[in-house]
Amino acid sequence: MPVLNLLPIKQALSMGANELSESDTPALDSELILLHCLNAHRNILFTDPNQLLSIKQQQQFIELIKRRKQGEPVAYIIGEQGFWDLTLNVSPDTLIPRPDTESLIDWVLENNLAPNHILDLGCGTGAIALALAKEFPNVQVLGVDLVESAVLLAKNNQQKNGIANAQFIQSSWFNGIANQHFDLIVSNPPYIDERDEHLSKGDVRYEPSSALIAKQQGFADLFHIAQQAPHFLNTGGCLLMEHGWQQAQGVQTELKRLGYNNVGSGQDLAGQWRFTFGFK
């Protein structure tokens, strides 16, 4: 995209989308990148579509479109991602929060769970913990992650979104939590088989493999959490875990073997079996 003259917003959007024709969402990608360069709200696309970009804005837009064209995720390019009704800072140290994970929050609310203490294992950006903390403002939420930079990012997102009732600490699963019990333990752990062909495609190429890949065909961390969680759940408490779309039956079988009650699974936005739950 050579810089021939300064472009109006509507033309820049179109040009960006054309450059990103191989993306699944070229128009949305172009829009998000342009709004980042403009440091503006989406309303400007409708109220002032003929506004010219500045030289700096146009150069930045062109550079970021190139990065996206090479496959880098939009969230890493602009440094943030929407989740639930939150805006979260992201970094290559953590997974990018995805809309499918919001289905776990939906399930908690739809089933009228009334937890007093919530634990989010492998919190990453803090997405799940912060969404639940916002929905349950009188409940204390604890998020843990093995990666120190992820914990710092989650704390930053807590401050960014003005949420008081959450805490984030560094811990390898339950190792850093002593003598605490929870009514809800939720996790989006690594669950992709290291041989999965999708690891070489799309956004996951840029995401940390430690947050994606698990041994035992992707079940290792899911099963570890399931085995340890009863020691940290109150009676009647719930374990809720996200997993791959083909793993629901395997996770259900393990939860039943371990003695969980009312075991079941739920679907994501695409109708795939995305999470499994069980009660102590």
254-270 residue pLDDT tens: 999 999 999 999 999 89
Residue 4 has pLDDT above 90, yes or no: no
Residue 131 has pLDDT above 60, yes or no: yes
pLDDT tens column, 104-126: 999 999 999 999 999 999 999 99
Distance separating alpha carbons of residues 239 and 62, to the nearest angstrom: 46
N-to-C CA span, the chain: 58
The two tokens of residue 25 are: 């969402």
- Dmax (CA) of the chain: 67
Domains and CATH numbers, the chain: 9-70 (1.10.8), 92-279 (3.40.50.150)
Confidence grade of residue 1 (pLDDT, cut at 50, 70, 90): very low
Residue 237 has pLDDT above 70, yes or no: yes
Whole-structure pTM value: 0.91
Rg of the chain in Å (alpha carbons): 21
Q: How many CB atoms lie within 10 A of CB 14?
A: 14
| Beta strands at 233-242 and 182-187: parallel, antiparallel or unpaired | parallel
DSSP sequence for 209-272 = GGGTEETTTTTHHHHHHHHHGGGTEEEEEEEEEE--TT-HHHHHHHHHHTT-EEEEEEE-TTS-
Token pair 């083909």 is at which residue? Answer: 246
With a pLDDT cut of 90, the percent of the chain lying above it is 84
Choose among 97, 102, 134, 136: nearest CA to 116.
136
Distance separating alpha carbons of residues 260 and 43, to the nearest angstrom: 49
The two tokens of residue 87 are: 């805006």
- Give yes or no for a contact between 222 and 170, defined as CB atoms under 8 angstroms apart: no
Q: What is the mean pLDDT of the chain?
A: 93
The two tokens of residue 45 are: 């696309």
Section 74-94 average pLDDT: 94
Q: How many CB atoms lie within 10 A of CB 201?
A: 10
Section 157-172 average pLDDT: 97
Distance separating alpha carbons of residues 96 and 82, to the nearest angstrom: 10
